[in-house]
């Protein structure tokens, strides 16, 4: 049985050992798309991260493929319908609530983005590197006493609520699939969507990408927000309409935003060429974009890779 790992860099030794128990592991180097197309032809199991879009072309080339293993909750980089047509099972972290409760990396990044924005950490750091020592240029605001609005009160939303309470914030949450009692048990006040947008000083997005959440936040929603509001998205890029976000920032409809995800992410960052949000960052300091690093900690990657390897072993 051939097990092909498309992005083996820093891959968990424990996870590799599990795969080696069930087949021949091919994990020599990070694969280009062309190399992936060639290598997947006789692979039984394909182990991926987020580098590649697994689409019809790749699935058509994968004549023997039985399982795609991916240590993520979001699966928008995999054509799930096409995988189903090919009889390929996808082993992921989606729905693995008990295990995922131990993984806090993405929530921690969300909080870091808020702090980086309101305390001007990137700019202050760059200023000191130029041998400046001028704290008055980087006056920020505090979290204490402000209102934190959480969109999506699943695993990550609940963790963010804990952070908000630890920082003495007023926490409100919206999730149409979670009842008021559960939200209140999570130490947050339940609010309808429009109310949350208008009340929150800080808005953190934690919903999956599906037909209901594409462009969940667009021109209409930005008009409801405070001009002093900060928005952070570590979920999926298409949840926020990027044109609407750019317009809101330019018109000062919101104070700032932090993004770990973009609408059209591709390997190597080719999509960034000419991207208007990226261009905006070159002349403004109230938008921070980072390259989908929410889950990229040694701790979380090791643990999720081991979990998925064990899951694949059980499937077999």
The residues annotated as belonging to the active site are 236, 265, 292
Residue 234 tokens, joined: 């570590």
Identify whether the C-beta of residue 234 lies closer than 8 Å to the C-beta of residue 260.
yes
Distance between CA atoms of 90 and 45, rounded to whole angstroms? Answer: 10
Distance between CA atoms of 234 and 231, rounded to whole angstroms? Answer: 10
What Å distances lie between residue 190 and 97, 186, 216, 268, 293, CA to CA?
22, 10, 18, 40, 29
Beta-carbon contacts of 252 under 8 Å, excluding residues fewer than 6 positions away, are: 227
What Å distances lie between residue 259 and 45, 171, 184, 204, 294, CA to CA?
32, 21, 28, 10, 10
Residue 185 tokens, joined: 């048990």
Distance between CA atoms of 217 and 212, rounded to whole angstroms? Answer: 11
Q: Is residue 63 classed exposed, middle or buried when 0-12, 13-18 and 19+ CB atoms within 10 A define those classes? A: exposed
DSSP characters over 59-96:
HHH-TT--EEE---S--TTB-HHHHHHTT-EEE-STT-
Closest by CA to 270, choosing from 53, 56, 55, 106, is 53
């Amino acid at each position: 049985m051939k097990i092909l790992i498309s992005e083996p860099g820093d891959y968990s030794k424990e996870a590799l050992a599990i795969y080696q128990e069930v087949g021949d592991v091919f994990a020599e180097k990070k694969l280009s798309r062309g190399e992936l197309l060639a290598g997947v032809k006789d692979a039984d199991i394909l182990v991926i991260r987020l580098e590649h879009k697994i689409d019809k072309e790749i699935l058509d080339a994968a004549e023997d493929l039985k399982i795609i293993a991916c240590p993520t909750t979001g699966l928008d980089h995999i054509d799930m319908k096409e995988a189903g047509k090919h009889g390929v099972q996808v082993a992921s972290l989606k729905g693995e609530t008990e295990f995922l409760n131990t993984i806090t990396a993405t929530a921690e990044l969300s909080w870091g983005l808020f702090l980086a924005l309101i305390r001007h950490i990137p700019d202050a750091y760059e200023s000191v590197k130029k041998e400046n020592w001028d704290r008055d240029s980087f006056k920020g605001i505090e979290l204490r006493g402000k209102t934190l609005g959480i969109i999506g009160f699943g695993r990550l939303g609940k963790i963010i609520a804990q952070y908000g309470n630890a920082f003495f914030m007023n926490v409100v949450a919206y999730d149409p699939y979670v009842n008021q009692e559960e939200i209140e048990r999570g130490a947050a006040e339940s609010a309808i969507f429009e109310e949350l947008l208008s009340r929150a000083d800080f808005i953190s997005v934690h919903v999956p990408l599906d037909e209901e959440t594409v462009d969940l936040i667009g021109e209409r929603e930005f008009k409801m927000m405070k001009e002093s509001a900060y928005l952070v998205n570590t979920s999926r890029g298409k949840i926020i309409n990027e044109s609407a976000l750019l317009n809101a920032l330019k018109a000062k409809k919101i104070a700032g935003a932090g993004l770990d995800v973009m609408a059209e992410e591709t390997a190597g960052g080719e999509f960034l060429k000419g991207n208007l949000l990226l261009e905006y960052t070159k002349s403004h300091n109230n938008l921070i974009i980072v390259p989908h690093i929410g889950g990229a900690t040694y701790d979380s990657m090791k643990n999720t890779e081991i979990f998925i390897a064990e899951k694949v072993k059980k499937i077999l």
